[in-house]
Amino acid sequence: MAATIEKQEATTAAPEPLDEGPRYTPLVDIVETNDGYTFYADLPGVKAGDLDITYEDDTLTIEAKVAPRQPKDQQYLIHEYGVGGFSRSFNIATPVNPDGIRAELKNGELCLFVPKAESAKVRKIAIKTD
């Protein structure tokens, strides 16, 4: 069964974020089963109250804000971890059951399940013999 999820790439027509600060594209793994899609996303520093997941017009969107971890005047020997928001969208062409979408955020790891609609699930056909 071929996956029917397409990444939404940033274009000039995309709306600009209203908040200040950089935006990061989180890395996401997607697993497809007969029942639905499971998205695994790394969202370091994100708290559940700062995470927004929407599904509208066949588009699943994950957006999150991250507060700074250290004071602005903090002196660093090495400063590699950037702080900013996360944003990622996926176009799901397969019919899904939006009421059954479930999400769990634990230690900066998001596990998001998007169930397929009954009409999109593969059905096993019984074969009669003589």
User: How confident is the model over 58-93, as pLDDT tens digits?
Assistant: 999 999 998 877 788 888 888 777 778 899 999 999
3-state secondary structure (DSSP) of residue 119: helix
Would you state the pLDDT for residue 22?
Answer: 81
Beta strands in 3-127 (DSSP E): 5-7, 23-24, 28-32, 36-42, 51-56, 59-64, 85-92, 102-106, 109-115
Would you state the pLDDT for residue 14?
Answer: 45
Would you state the pLDDT for residue 115?
Answer: 96
Query: Which residue from 121, 82, 112, 117 is spatially nearest to 98, judged by alpha carbons?
Result: 117
The CATH code belonging to domain 20-69+80-118 is: 2.60.40.790
Q: pLDDT exceeding 70 applies to what percent of the chain?
A: 85
Q: Please state the domain extents for the chain.
A: 20-69+80-118
Binned at pLDDT 50, 70 and 90, residue 3 comes out as low
Binned at pLDDT 50, 70 and 90, residue 4 comes out as low
Averaged pLDDT score across all residues of the chain: 84
